[in-house]
Structure 1
Amino acid sequence: MTTIELYPDDVHNQRTIRQGHPSDWVNREGGDYDLVVLGGGPGGLVAAMTAAAGGHRVAMTEQRLTGGTCVNFGCTPSKALIRCARAVHDASRGVEFGFRLDAPPQTDFGSVMDRVRRMRSLSSSGDAVEVVEQAGAEVYLGHTRFTAPNTVEVEGRLLRFRKAVIATGSDPVMPPIEGLRTGEYLTNETVFSLTELPARLVVIGSGPLGCELAQAFRRLGSEVDLVSHSRTLLPNDEPEVGELIGRRFEQEGLRLHLGFTAVRAGAGRLLVQGPDGTRELPYDALLIATGRKANVEHLDLGAAGVHVARDGVEVDEYLCTSNPDVYAVGDATFPQKFTHAAMATARLCIANALDGAHRPARELVIPHCTYTDPEVAEVGLTPRRARDEGVAIDAYRLELAKVERAFIDGEEEGFGAIYTRSGSGEIAGATLVAAHAGEMISELTLAITNQVPLEALANTVHCYPTQAEVFQRIALQYAGPQSVAVAH
């Protein structure tokens, strides 16, 4: 069976391992199942526990830690680190709020990372092997592979299934950099093992992970260089979003190298090439954050007759693979590689595979949020997507500086925008840049999912003062003076 190690070997990591991959676990002998789920991350857990709650006999397999990347190497530890960094940053802003510190706040990085590991162990308790078993799914730990269209093997145990779900997640993508050797760089799977703050950190990648951790480490005290072949931060979001976050980063002292490609690394130096020549960046730690790829290479999918596309397992709109008895969810197949997308596709997949729901994945309205400061959240049809799809939209926008709670809190940097299908009040999408955008975007997700028109948003009473008022005020721009709601 796979041996799991987390560094450092402290009480928090020991607890995480005990919960997610007990060393004394003994797999059952195998057998026949209504459903076998490959992968114990968010998608796999939801699929297994939903099916078990429906009365089906379910097995879930996991090679590493239950909870997957999200709990162990992604969402939970990264947000714990970001929260510590934000606390340090807020303390440094005392003059704005009428108080002074005798000295600038000093980071105890060891204590920061101890808290990160403690938060991870607390989070992983909800995804523990024991919890899955209590929910009615039988857990098998170890390497899993298909041996036939309706059979998988886990550490010598054969599991025969009526239906199966591939939920094996994704792995970091490594860029082709000369001299880059395993163990000489960090990824999301190793960065949270740090016990000492890197004096000089170079981050390669300007997507959500790269931006979030670059800002967090800068606030904790590292000198940070961020390198990206893209000419903007967060290139999958609206261009003005990346420009706004870039300005904030530079204000906080991050050095941005946009439009540059990393070509050679070694001996604490990274050589990058860009539009104005080459630059050499010294580093004590190098973090690779250049995207993710589906983790399916080890599954022997050919034995099951499952086709693989460039971006992962090939599925139809109902999440079914080329094998009618095998489905796939989350990062293993879905282009939107978010925890909540994995969970949503898992619920949909079980409804289709076991209950005959026949619901297409395009019905899902999936928001996303990048947890920089300010946060960036988007949902639905944004101008970039509308152009790509040839859809005409109207945009209604308001700067956050015009919302009282935002400037009262000193969080006025940002904006809200709602997009409607051209000539109508049908809400098609939204962009929000705000301190707590991730907490606020669900109102627009709910509206789009349930086809709530913009007039209804204008007529919805919001607490005053709140930053969420930005949505009502934008809606009032559309509804006009005939609306019964009154903006402050």
Structure 2
Amino acid sequence: MVLGGGPGGLTAATTAAAGGHRVAMTEQRLTGGTCVNFGCTPSKALIRCARAVHDANRGDEFGFRLDAPPQTDFGSVMDRVRKMRSLSSAHDAVEMAEQAGVEVYLGHTRFTAPNAVEVDGRVLRFRKAVIATGSVPVVPPIEGLQTGDYLTNETVFSLTQLPARLVVIGSGPLGCELAQAFHRLGAEVDMVSRPSTLLANDEPEVGELIRRRFEQEGIGLHLGFEAVRADGGRLLVQGPDGTRELPYDALLLGTGRKANVEHLNLDAAGVHLDRDGVEVDDYLCTSNADIYAAGDATFPQKFTHAANATALLGIANALDEAHRPARELVIPHCTYTDPEVAEVGLTPRRARDEGVAIDAYRLDLTQVERAFIDGEEEGFGAIYRRSDDDEIAGATLVAAHAGEMISELTLAITNHMPLEALAGTVHCYPTQAEVFQRIALQHAQPQRVAVPHPR
């Protein structure tokens, strides 16, 4: 039994079915979950349109001029966003799950016993279950803020008209991505951030770089401020230098997400909660030995690829007794601002928290030919390794296509590769991905770099 039809639930259900198990999957809303319907797919489609507009405005840098500034047709932009969402959701539809051998039940699901759920009045019993119900937006307690007065990731992609003035509350990945995208599409944008930096969970240098870019583009930043009252299209915020009043036509909440588990009646199943959602051990097993959990419902790293990875792990541990711990997973993340921000593994921030000594090796993209050829030299790459170990432990990358490039370092960390292995790997020239090889060549031990040779 799989509860939830998002990326994690679909992965869990189809994987179990492929292994010869009889599988039922329940979904209360839309298959594909947040990622396809309200997250990854529509947001990246919107960002792509915004970047096209931004690039068109940079013609002087590349030897061309437009007769007039590019005009955004926001209705057409959103039509394309919804078309991309439709194309993506086709791969996650009920029919696809059923073709994979999964019995799909649509409706409200709740536990009625340690080994049974009820779906809109129908009782289904199971031998093993995986909770993969995803997450929902966090709505902060702001005086005067009523349901319907604000946008979240679940409603913003239904807009048909561009708001002239948009206020974004929150400076995490969602807030930063959409603030930049809407500004590039023509909205006047203000960001309100309780932390005094953008992307506070990433390295401080990252937040400072993105802050400079946002200020250059004209986004209003109110860092260290907290929203306290919303009243008739005006938001009162308080910060270190007093109060400010921000007018808006639309208010977007990017204040985080929480596990979507409140409706599951977990007490009936003997499943406990913690601050991240469903409480699990290192093998993703809950306090009920027959029930596992995966993805946003339990995992602190609330990314689609983390949901897929934990779903695969949960199924392997639940049905195949793989006994693999979740701590072995190496999960990168990327924020799709321009430039993009990607990190993986042990970074200086994490190393300080864990009391681990690391060595950091860094290179600006101004030193990488392809980056300045493309006019995308704002950024850097950094590789980290433990001070007492040769293996690569982590990486940070700020680059136009960081999300496409970070997988090389994820592979290296997953397979416990030393810096010398990266130094000896031939890279295409000129590419921005050379930044990692150049760092490795500068800091690896020369006598240990393997020289590639034909086999």
Please give the range of the TM-score, normalised by the shorter of the 2 chains. Answer: over 0.9
Corresponding residue for 2:300?
335
Classify the secondary structure of the residue corresponding to 1:319. coil
* Equivalent residues in 2 for 1:260-271, closer than 5 Å: 260-271=225-236
* Corresponding residue to 1:384 among 349, 356, 370: 349
Give the share of equivalent positions with the same residue, in percent: 86
> 1:452 deviation in Å?
1.0
Alignment match of 2:156 (pick from 191, 194, 197): 191
- Corresponding position: 1:176 with 2:136: no
Partner secondary structure for residue 182 of structure 2 = helix
What SS is found at the alignment partner of 1:162?
coil
Q: How many angstroms apart in 2 are the aligned matches of 1:392 and 1:477?
A: 20
Q: Describe the superposition over 1:258-290 as per-residue Cα deviations: whole angstroms up to 9, x where unpaired.
A: 000000002100000000000000000000010
Match of 2:48 in 1: 83
Instruction: Note if contact 2:420-2:450 (Cα within 8 Å) is conserved in structure 1.
Output: no
Corresponding residue of 1:241: 206
Relative distance call for 1:317 and 1:272 in structure 2 (3 A) is same
Q: Which residue, 231, 235, 239 being the options, matches 2:196?
A: 231
Matches of 1:449 and 1:266, distance apart in 2: 50
Query: Quick one: structure 1 residues 451 and 480, their matched pair in 2 at CA, closer, same or farther if it must change by over 3 Å?
Result: closer
Residue matched to 1:278 = 243
1:140 partnered with 2:105: yes
1:293 aligned onto 2:248: no
Which of 380, 385, 403 does residue 415 from structure 1 map onto?
A: 380
1:461 to 396, 419, 426: 426
The CA deviation at 1:485 is 5.9
Unaligned runs of 5+ in 1: 1-35
Q: Pick from 91, 95, 114 the counterpart of residue 130 of structure 1.
A: 95
Question: Secondary structure of 2:49's partner?
Answer: helix
Partner of 1:280: helix, strand, or coil? strand
Query: 2:173 and 2:60 mapped to 1: Cα distance?
Result: 30
- The Cα shift of 1:424 comes to 3.3
Q: Distance in 2 between matches of 1:479 and 1:291?
A: 39
Letter in 2 for 1:56: H
SS at match of 1:299: coil
- Rounded Cα–Cα distance in structure 1 between residues aligned with 2:218 and 2:257: 28
The alignment partner of 2:70 has SS state of coil
Deviations 1:327-346 (A, max 9, x none): 00000000000000000000
Structure 2 counterpart of 1:320: 285
Structure 1 match to 2:23: 58
1:38 has 2:15 as partner? no
Q: CA RMSD in A?
A: 0.9
**Do the aligned partners of 1:49 and 1:137 also contact (CA within 8 Å) in 2?**
yes
The question of whether the paired residues in 1 share the 8 Å contact of 2:8 and 2:304 is answered with yes
Counterparts of 2:94 and 2:25 in 1: how far apart (Å)?
Answer: 10
Query: In structure 2, what residue type is equivalent to 1:230?
Result: P
What is the CA–CA distance in structure 2 between the aligned matches of 1:100 and 1:128, rounded to whole Å?
A: 44
2:152 maps to 1:152: no
Contact 2:420-2:445 at 8 Å conserved across structures: no
CA distance in 1, matches of 2:164, 2:392: 46
Q: C-alpha offsets along residues 8-39 of structure 1, whole Å, 9 cap, x if unaligned? A: xxxxxxxxxxxxxxxxxxxxxxxxxxxx0000
| Counterparts of 2:303 and 2:250, CA distance in 1 | 26
The yes-or-no answer on 1:116 pairing with 2:81 is: yes
Question: What secondary structure is seen at the aligned counterpart in 2 of 1:230?
Answer: coil
Equivalence for 1:93: 58
Instruction: Give me the whole-angstrom Cα distance separating, in 1, the residues matched to 2:405 and 2:254.
Output: 27
Contact kept in structure 2, 1:39 and 1:60, CA below 8 Å? yes
Shift of 1:480: 5.1
Contact kept in structure 2, 1:47 and 1:347, CA below 8 Å? yes
Query: Amino acid of the residue matched to residue 77 of structure 1?
Result: P
Equivalent residues of 1:458, 1:485 under 8 A apart = no
* Contact in 1 for aligned 2:421/2:450 (Cα 8 Å): no
Checking the alignment, whether the CA contact within 8 Å between 2:78 and 2:157 is kept in structure 1 is yes
Given that 1:461 and 1:485 are in contact with CA atoms closer than 8 Å, whether structure 2 keeps it comes out as no
Superposition deviation, residue 423 in structure 1:
4.1
Shift of 1:296: 0.3
Q: Give the letter aligned to residue 196 of structure 1.
A: Q
Instruction: Give the Å deviation of 1:160.
Output: 0.4
Q: Does the residue aligned with 1:323 lie in a helix, a strand or coil?
A: coil
Q: Distance in 1 between matches of 2:235 and 2:308?
A: 38
Q: Which residue of 1 aligns with 2:401?
A: 436
Offset at 1:309? 1.2
Cα distance in 2 between the residues matched to 1:122 and 1:393 = 44
**Kindly tell me: are residues 484 and 143 of structure 1, through their superposed partners in 2, closer, same or farther at Cα, counting changes over 3 Å?**
closer
TM-score, normalised on structure 2? 0.98
User: Any idea what the Cα deviations from partners look like across 1:190-214, whole Å, max 9, x if unmatched?
Assistant: 0000000000000000000000000
